Structures are given as structure tokens and as C-alpha cells.
Amino acid sequence: MGYALAGEALRRGARVILVSGPTSLYPPPGAELRPVETAAAMAREVKKNLSRADVLIMAAAVADFRPADRSEQKVKKEEAPPALKLVPTEDILASLARPGGRSKKVIVGFAAETRDVIANASRKLREKKLDLIVANDVSREGIGFDSDFNQVVIIDKKGAVVESPIVSKREISRLVMDRVEVLLGRKK
């Protein structure tokens, strides 16, 4: 979804910095790729480039948790602990909601949900002080992850809700960018 959004922003004339974890996808021509491998690296890269942006779209989190301990060497079976301890990664969008974190930018988040999609996405929209949130039910077969198709609910900070049919991610990116342009005052 992030790559489709980057491509649509480029088609509309935007300068695009694409911060991306490992993927087999090729970045859209013209996007400035910033590859990262961890949630911490993504947080650093986003914050490093945020001052140069009018819009920040966070299409996915690298991970919500990471192992508490890291080993520089392979851990042998007989040396492994019986359970892995996990610690939360930084929530990049939530960190921008803190005082002094966001300035005057349009900030769009995504919510991958498995139940109560609109209620959970609306809560995230408020808590993270987003301008727009795009939510989808990731428990549904054939859409979202590992698919060229998606079905989303787009909610803005005024409470307007737009539900899409199942369409291509390129079409979803058009819907999202149309809403972003409205928020920027470039479209009615």
C-alpha cells in the first residue's frame, strides 16, 4: 500500500521520500528510497526527514514488538530460553502527537484491524491526533497484505467516513490522496 501511495503522490507532482522496510517491491521511479530494517531505524529516518515534509503517510508499522535481548551470534537450540521476552517498539505516529512533535503537517495513519474496524480506527485517529486514518480488516481473505487489492474505511478528524469497495491498491491510493489534497486545501 505504501508503494502505491508513493506512486500516486509522484503522479500528482509531489516529491516523495519513501521510508521502507525490506520488501521485494521496487520503489516507484522518482521516489527517494530510505531503506530500514528495524522499527527504531524507521523512527529515526521518519523524524530526520519530517521537517522537509508537508504530508506524512504512515502506511504500516515495521513491528509492534521486538525481542528484549539480541544476540550477535546464532543461538543454539540447547542454549535458547524457553520463551522470548518481547518489548514494545516506539509508536512513531503516537510520538508525533506529543507536544512539539508534529508542527503543521497533514498526518495520515493506517490501521490494520481484525474487529470493530471503524471504532478502533476512530480511537487511533483521536489518540494519535491524526488528520486522516485509513483502516482495513486484515482478517479478510484476498485483500490487504500480499494482495494487489484492498477495501478500506477512510475517516477524517471531523468524523467523515468513506468506505471503499474492493478495488486495486492503486485506486485506494487515489482515494487517500484525494482526501489529502482536500486537507491541504488543493481540492474541494
Amino acid making up residue 9: A
Q: pLDDT-based confidence at 138, cuts 50/70/90?
A: confident
> Can you give the pLDDT at residue 99?
60
**Domains in the chain, CATH or no CATH each:** 54-183 (3.40.50.10300)
As a 3-state breakdown, the chain gives helix, strand, coil percent values, each rounded to 5, of 30, 25, 45
Residue pair 111/126 in contact by the 8 Å Cβ criterion: no
> Can you give the pLDDT at residue 122?
95
* Helices 2-11 + 169-183 axis angle, to 10: 60
Q: Tens of pLDDT along 58-106? A: 987 678 898 898 888 998 988 888 888 999 999 998 888 766 655 678 9
Distance CA 63, CA 91 (A): 9
Residue whose C-alpha is closest to residue 64's, from 89, 29, 97: 89
